Structure 1
Amino acid sequence: MHPLPRYQQLAAQLAAAIEGGTLGAGSRLPSVRACAGRHALSLNTVTAAYRLLEDQGLVEARPQSGYYVRSALAAPPGPLNARPALRDAPPATQQTLVDGVLAAQGRDDHLDLALACPHGAPFYPVERLARLTGTLLRQAPGLIGRYALPPGSPRLRAQIARRALDLGMRLSPDDIVLTHGTMEALQLALRAVTRPGDTVGVESPTYFNLYPLLESLGLKVLELPTDPQQGLSLDALEMLLSEGRLAALVAMPTVHNPLGCTMPLPAKQRLARLVNQYRVPLIEDALYAELQFADVPSPAVKAFDEAGWVMVCASYSKTLAPDYRVGYLEAGRFGDAVRRLKFASSIAEPMLLGEVVGEFLENGGYDRHLRALRRLYAQQVDTVRGLVARHFPAGTTATRPSGGFLLWLQLPPSVDTARLAEAALAERIVVMPGTLYSAGSRYRHCLRLTCCRALDERFVAALVRLGALAQAQAAASA
């Protein structure tokens, strides 16, 4: 007679398969029913085994999806930046790195692990959008024969307001300004609330393209400590607000880029209270908020805004139609200023594209598409974490994103990821070194990876090779 109960025997058997690599990170365990039939066990026995593996941290349950193998890779400790730091404009070498990444990204013979640009049929409903665009053109060909005037597509603005309810926000279609992607929304928001010479708070690390944008507007940057799990340090923020040092704050409280973290609900509520109390505008970038892995999404900070000091922006570039560049901004108490700036800069967004996206959001199965996309990204992030755990230098850590498709890696301090990126580019592998996500050099041993393309043999080979290059650099430094 076996000394262990049957559920423990099954759990041990599966644990051995996980630890031996037979069941890789991100792979799905057989359904409870299938496993019960295969091993001639009851459903309760298999369920108990899976829950034991979950307690041991080897698998995780995903509602309405099943059990998946977790990566053993540790998450980086935080916060990543110990104290607020005022930074000058990024050095020219950083812009050179960005230019090199952008140039290589468009080449078919290069494998892109750098830019947050989903690539491939599973990530966008391209054929359905193409059919819908053709149908609307046939039904209303006059759409492209007249000027697009503000405020833009009423159908799209109504759908944005309706979908905002899923993130706890009550927005009026009349207050929504359609923009040319999220970047124009950020620019309009910053121009509305700052003047050259003002200081703007940002998370550290933060989205790399924020730095050239802030520099172009003549703004100073104050980097705030940011935890890879909890997000922006509100204690540091409150100190700066009480000292009157910030004209505005730009933050991604939900599915942060590049960390992937989402601030806990009480922290979001406190953040809303702080910016309202000190009357400092928060520009909330919600670009990845719809890609949260949780069944019940975390609300936006805008949901707790009392007096219009939170401006929220996003786009459909990551979920639906990147080339359409359809974004939006709800600017709270700064709405009139933003509308004037939009009219002065680009007048309005194309009515045709707005109507296409609005129609798809209304009748095209967008929610079904999002559910499939979230499951796919959750699985791909786990798979890539597993590959990193196996092929990168000992001591490498990686974030555990709450959504989206970005991973932030922290390699041993001896690895210079700018040099690593150059070595990888020579082998037609494109990556983003950590120095691009700060105006300083504190993230020189960090790296952002994207998991938004098919994880085929070419992708895996490139990632394995990148790990080998990192291991060689670490060994040479040692």
Structure 2
Amino acid sequence: MATNLYQSLADEMADAIRSGRLPVGARLPSLRGLATQRSLSLNTVIAAYRQLEDAGLVLPRPKAGFVVSPRLPEPTQSLRQAPSPPSAPAQQAMMARVLAAQQQPGIVDLAFAGPRGKRFYPGAQLARSTAQVLRRAATTVETYARPNGAARLLAQIVQRGPRLGLHTTVDRLVLTHGAMEALQLALRVVTKPGDAVAIEAPSYFNIYPLLRSLGLRAIELPTHPRDGLDLDALEALLEAGGIAAIMAMPTVHNPLGGSMPVPNKQRLAALVNHYQVPLIEDAVYAELQFKEPLEPLAKSFDRDGWIMVCSGFSKTLAPDYRIGWLDGGRFAADIQLLKFHSSGAESRLLGDAVAAFLEAGNYEHHLRGLRRLYSDQVAHVRGLIAQHFPSGTSATQPTGGFLLWVELPAAIDAGDLFEQALAEGVVFMPGQVYSRGARYRHCLRLSCCQELDARFVGAIATVGRLANALQARAAG
């Protein structure tokens, strides 16, 4: 079976579905009938229909073949303006509940944003790179690592940077213990206790405890599910003054999954340079964009070094190696000194092992496969949500990564849904952990970075069934 035959057929039918020429509920031609009509093999048609099913565009119906799936709309506005009194203790309590639930044996974890399985990481190849480095420099493990001692890895980060519009140098970089340390170092260099930091809403849940630990105040700004940070609101805040820094994920946002349009990134960079307020750009998912060539970071439009970039290899290559990096812009020298005083240096062995993998040219091939895989999996999970969740549900259409933000009908409390799902062995991330208030009480985040096997599909169906019951109860 020629790959281009089934792919061409799948693309043609997908276009008909998305354009409305094949409406929701329409029955597709039978497998044998379409094979005869198009003079194709049965296997070719089966493969095309399977791809449409995996993309969430069609559903199998007993004794009826395949029908076009229900449409799942995207959220259309930021919920930041909804009344929501601050409630940090409730946010912390819910996060603690999620973490405890994830430790339960037999749980189906739809919450953890950590890929699991051999399809997602090149473990065997990375192990060979690590063994090779160790054989050639056995004394490395007997020597204290020096700050930025993994010169090979720094060189690779510099070399790869232009793919994202990042034209950096070794002296602007510092290796960190994961991207979270990079975020912390960037904050510590440009803020002091009591300062205010502008963040997106919803925002990555670990930002809140990080800011609290440094004695900083979070000011939440509206963030559109598709277009990102509201730049008009940000400009008004900058004009008013009193903001020490901004934290944002302009490229593949967590939890929303979207990316700011390139003109918006240009405006964002212009704003921070004009007002001379540092932007900490979290780019941990940027290399997992579905579009190729990759769209640039906001940093690519930085004129005077006011943007710092935090990233790493945990989401794409080596989670346990905990290798992050930070381009410190105009603050690079202070960040490097702070890193030394805080935690010394990162492992040269692990840094050289990752560098060896990158030098061999394996990383780009791995990333291309990963992007295709996550694009397919996100589409599949959107299809499952459309099939199982209540009418009125919407979900983001990510531009990269493996996270889906789901907005349920307003009558459904995601906290109640969380508890009911947990009782049936399923855990997801409730929307309440992504803000200090309750405006996201009817929202949740799902991770699509594991095998979409029968347990996973069954877990999505379970959450959908429970959500339908909660909606029926609220209506009754």
Q: Same fold (TM over 0.5)?
A: yes
Find the counterpart in structure 1 of residue 304 from structure 2: 307
Q: CA deviation at 1:71?
A: 7.2
Q: Deviations over 1:302-356 (max 9, x none)?
A: 1111111000010111100001000000111111211111011101100001001
Q: CA deviation at 1:70?
A: 8.7
Q: Answer yes or no: is the 8 Å Cα contact 2:308–2:328 preserved in 1.
A: yes
1-structure distance, mates of 2:134, 2:69: 47
2-structure distance, mates of 1:73, 1:233: 24
What is the aligned counterpart of 1:197 among 182, 189, 194? 194
Q: How many residues are aligned here?
A: 437
Q: CA deviation at 1:399?
A: 0.2
Q: Report the more deviating stretch, 346-355 or 105-114.
A: 105-114
Residue 269, structure 1, aligned to residue 298, structure 2: no
1:417-456 mapped onto 2 (5 Å cutoff): 417-456=414-453
Residue 395 of structure 1: SS of its match in structure 2? coil
Residue 234, structure 1, aligned to residue 239, structure 2: no
Find the counterpart in structure 1 of residue 71 from structure 2: 72
Amino acid at match of 1:165: P
What is the aligned counterpart of 1:257 among 245, 249, 254? 254
2-structure distance, mates of 1:377, 1:364: 21
1:10-49 mapped onto 2 (5 Å cutoff): 19=24, 39-40=38-39
Residue 452 of structure 1: SS of its match in structure 2? coil
Residue 183 of structure 1: SS of its match in structure 2? helix
Find the counterpart in structure 2 of residue 332 from structure 1: 329
Residue 271 of structure 2: SS of its match in structure 1? helix
Q: Answer yes or no: is the 8 Å Cα contact 2:195–2:216 preserved in 1.
A: yes
Q: Deviations over 1:243-291 (max 9, x none)?
A: 1131100000000000011101110001000000000000000000000
2-structure distance, mates of 1:461, 1:116: 19
Q: CA deviation at 1:423?
A: 1.3
What is the aligned counterpart of 1:342 among 328, 339, 342? 339
What is the aligned counterpart of 1:139 among 136, 140, 143? 136
1:323/1:316 CA distance change after superposition, 3 Å? same
Q: CA deviation at 1:82?
A: 2.8
1-structure distance, mates of 2:397, 2:221: 21
2-structure distance, mates of 1:14, 1:402: 22
Amino acid at match of 1:39: R
1:220-231 mapped onto 2 (5 Å cutoff): 220-231=217-228
Q: Deviations over 1:366-412 (max 9, x none)?
A: 11100000000000001100110111111000000000000000001
2-structure distance, mates of 1:37, 1:472: 44
Find the counterpart in structure 2 of residue 353 from structure 1: 350
Find the counterpart in structure 2 of residue 169 from structure 1: 166
2-structure distance, mates of 1:410, 1:13: 26
Q: Answer yes or no: is the 8 Å Cα contact 1:84–1:225 preserved in 2.
A: no
1:98-137 mapped onto 2 (5 Å cutoff): 98-137=95-134
2-structure distance, mates of 1:297, 1:268: 14
Q: Any runs of at least 4 consecutive aligned residues in structure 1 with deviations exceeding 6 A, and if so which?
A: 35-38
Q: CA deviation at 1:99?
A: 2.2
Q: Answer yes or no: is the 8 Å Cα contact 2:276–2:306 preserved in 1.
A: yes
Q: CA deviation at 1:94?
A: 2.2
Find the counterpart in structure 2 of residue 188 from structure 1: 185
Find the counterpart in structure 1 of residue 154 from structure 2: 157
1:275-294 mapped onto 2 (5 Å cutoff): 275-294=272-291
Find the counterpart in structure 1 of residue 207 from structure 2: 210
Residue 367, structure 1, aligned to residue 349, structure 2: no
Q: Report the more deviating stretch, 280-289 or 422-431.
A: 422-431
2-structure distance, mates of 1:375, 1:17: 25
1:84/1:277 CA distance change after superposition, 3 Å? farther
Q: CA deviation at 1:470?
A: 0.8
Residue 324 of structure 2: SS of its match in structure 1? strand
Residue 243 of structure 2: SS of its match in structure 1? coil
Q: CA deviation at 1:106?
A: 3.9
Q: Answer yes or no: is the 8 Å Cα contact 1:83–1:236 preserved in 2.
A: no
Q: Deviations over 1:121-169 (max 9, x none)?
A: 1000011111221221122111110101112200111111111110011
Q: Answer yes or no: is the 8 Å Cα contact 1:435–1:443 preserved in 2.
A: yes
Residue 122 of structure 1: SS of its match in structure 2? coil
Q: Report the more deviating stretch, 449-458 or 125-134.
A: 125-134
Find the counterpart in structure 2 of residue 459 from structure 1: 456
What is the aligned counterpart of 1:148 among 134, 145, 150? 145
Residue 444 of structure 2: SS of its match in structure 1? strand
1:327/1:37 CA distance change after superposition, 3 Å? farther
1:316/1:71 CA distance change after superposition, 3 Å? farther
2-structure distance, mates of 1:12, 1:118: 28
2-structure distance, mates of 1:299, 1:140: 37
1-structure distance, mates of 2:186, 2:379: 35
2-structure distance, mates of 1:220, 1:399: 28
Segments of 5+ residues of structure 1 without an aligned counterpart are: 1-6, 24-29, 60-68
RMSD: 2.7
Segments of 5+ residues of structure 2 without an aligned counterpart are: 1-8, 59-67
2-structure distance, mates of 1:260, 1:11: 26
Amino acid at match of 1:139: R
Q: Answer yes or no: is the 8 Å Cα contact 2:91–2:435 preserved in 1.
A: no
Amino acid at match of 1:95: Q
| TM-score between both structures, scaled by the size of structure 1 | 0.86
Q: Answer yes or no: is the 8 Å Cα contact 1:71–1:382 preserved in 2.
A: no
Q: Answer yes or no: is the 8 Å Cα contact 2:199–2:219 preserved in 1.
A: yes
Q: CA deviation at 1:215?
A: 0.6
2-structure distance, mates of 1:148, 1:127: 25
Find the counterpart in structure 2 of residue 93 from structure 1: 90
1-structure distance, mates of 2:210, 2:242: 20
